[in-house]
Amino acid sequence: MADVRKEQEREELHRTIWAIADDLRGSVDGWDFKTYVLGTMFYRYISENLTEYINKFEIEAGNTEFDYSLLADDEAEAVRSDMVNEKGFFILPSELFKNICANAEKLAEENKLNEVIETVFRHIEQSAQGTISEAEFSGLFDDYDVNSNKLGATVPKRNQMLVKLLFGIRDMKLGNYQDNTIDAFGDAYEYLMGMYASNAGKSGGEYFTPQEVSELLTQLAVVGKTEVNKVYDPACGSGSLLLKSAKILGIDKVKSGFYGQEKNITTYNLCRINMFLHDIDYDRFSIACEDTLVQPQHWDDEPFEVIVSNPPYSIKWEGDDNATLINDPRFSPAGVLAPKSKADMAFIMHSLTWLASNGTAAIVCFPGIMYRGGAEQKIRKYLVDNNYIDCIIQLPDNLFFGTSIATCIMVMKKNKVDNKTLFIDATKEFLKVTNNNKLTEDNIRHIVDEFTSREDVQYFARLVDYDEIKEQNYNLSVSTYVEQEDTREKIDIKVLNAQIKEIVAREQVLRDAIDKIIAEIEG
């Protein structure tokens, strides 16, 4: 019954989200508008989170009638310092989501709602300034522009749109965030991201890794582990890959938290919001907004036991235009930099450097890096010669929004017990769903079971010795090592000849009949 109830709650939540988004989007591009929907969800979440936390403390102290949302602002100031230390932020009672909603229509009629929301968000960010949580809250609402034309051409229209937005999120049945049968806030976030990415094509998909691919990557990276020190993603996007580890292992089993880096400021803000919506406190994550390849953060942190990533495919980077990079300890061991026009291998080398000696890195890759020559071949040689490549998995095509290419996964380790590489052909492991292919639970289980067993399976997987890879000039394409099954229909040549003879005989009978008819006509 619990599973049925959970699914019913999830379906109801998704229907509500779709209705809100459909009502609010109008002429606004969905991928832009998600910032407002998700930002408002986040505002509701931290308001309820703080209220619940303070109420619980007061009730346990015997003040059973206490409700923080009804407290006067000047009285609430007494707990500001404690709340910032414990929760990382503070919100005055009058500025809670619940109370702003209660006054929203009146404020909109006065054309003040946009100004009030802007002030509230600024106050939330300012509450963390000068504290250890400052980095996690700084600029968090920068993309939530209450004066944008995307909300309406005039101030009154923007205010009316904000009322709809607040009320839509208010009416979402998210319940008590701690008591939900489903992870309602987190689930709503993931559903919205998937919905917008599927409708936005490449512009949305570049920020979004489908949940099934996230699941597979993370399961590969945590095989044999019940707890890890930290999880890291050098191109973390909205953070879905980081959070899969929390879901699979449990938040408390990722002992030192979640780390990532993201270049795009909007996506960086979404990632931090995602952490909070999945109940990851400010002191349990560290997300940086910099270019990973030329301005890497987390240099001073201990290496990571789990690295999961879906970096952008074949983007341009500084490469050898930057004379300092060849001496960078991340890239120098290979003796060559990734091509300026294709940064894929730079992300691989970066991840390898950040990987713990007992860790596993699982990275989605563009297939070209497995067979192209030049600098990429030299980097592959370095990786194979030093026995870092544990497994290469060829995935089905059309798994990702915005691209139909068949991607692959590279799994790296520094503590391999053999000098072999496993190649898995998973191109047939999918279910066709509308315009995209999808990995099912059975598909994921099949791939992970093979990854764990490392056994040869005809047409599916093969464990290959170092010498054979060397003989193939360090080509790491799965098709080089795993034989493709011939699914073409077998032809029996004897039967075919008999059929041809029958056709020829029938043709002669028809010719004779035609000749006879012509002769009768002429006669």
Domains of the chain: 2-200 (1.20.1260.30), 204-481 (3.40.50.150)
The pLDDT of residue 177 is above 90: no
Q: How far apart are the first and last CA of the chain?
A: 88
Give the distance from CA 500 to its chain's centroid: 57
Q: At what angle do helices 155-170 and 2-25 cross, to 10 degrees?
A: 170
Distance CA 491, CA 90 (A): 75
The pLDDT assigned to 204 comes to 42
Instruction: Read off the pLDDT of residues 128-168 as tens digits, 9 standing for 90 and up.
Output: 999 999 999 999 999 899 998 888 889 999 999 999 999 99
Among 27-36, 304-313, 360-369, 393-402, which is the least confidently predicted range?
27-36
DSSP 8-class letter at 489 = P
The pLDDT assigned to 181 comes to 44
Which residues contact residue 438 at a Cβ distance below 8 angstroms, ignoring those fewer than 6 apart? 210, 212, 399, 430, 431, 432
Distance CA 264, CA 253 (A): 29
The pLDDT of residue 90 is above 90: yes
Residue 309's SS3 state is strand
- Please, which pLDDT band fits residue 175 given cuts at 50, 70 and 90? low
- Please, which pLDDT band fits residue 196 given cuts at 50, 70 and 90? low
- Please, which pLDDT band fits residue 207 given cuts at 50, 70 and 90? very low
Burial of residue 389 (CB within 10 Å: 0-12, 13-18, 19+) is buried
Distance CA 242, CA 106 (A): 41
Tokens of 77: 């100031």
105 compared with 18, residue with greater pLDDT? 105
Tell which residue, 319, 294, 291, has the closest CA to residue 376: 319
383 compared with 302, residue with greater pLDDT? 383
The pLDDT assigned to 520 comes to 74
Mean per-residue pLDDT of the chain: 89
Among 26-30, 67-71, 232-236, 276-280, which is the least confidently predicted range?
26-30
- The conformational region for residue 473 under phi > 0 = left, psi -120 to 50 = alpha, else beta, is left
The pLDDT assigned to 211 comes to 83
- Please, which pLDDT band fits residue 30 given cuts at 50, 70 and 90? low
pTM of the model: 0.86
Tell which residue, 200, 203, 201, 280, has the closest CA to residue 240: 280
Q: Average pLDDT in the 79-107 region?
A: 97
- Please, which pLDDT band fits residue 7 given cuts at 50, 70 and 90? confident
CB-CB contact of 237 with 262 (8 Å): yes
Among 94-98, 189-193, 235-239, which is the least confidently predicted range?
189-193
The pLDDT of residue 187 is above 90: no
Which residues contact residue 341 at a Cβ distance below 8 angstroms, ignoring those fewer than 6 apart? 314, 316
Rounded to 5 degrees, φ, ψ at 336 are -160, 150
Percent of the chain residues topping a pLDDT of 90: 66
The pLDDT of residue 404 is above 90: no
CB-CB contact of 364 with 209 (8 Å): yes
The pLDDT assigned to 183 comes to 63
Instruction: Read off the pLDDT of residues 250-267 as tens digits, 9 standing for 90 and up.
Output: 999 999 999 999 998 988
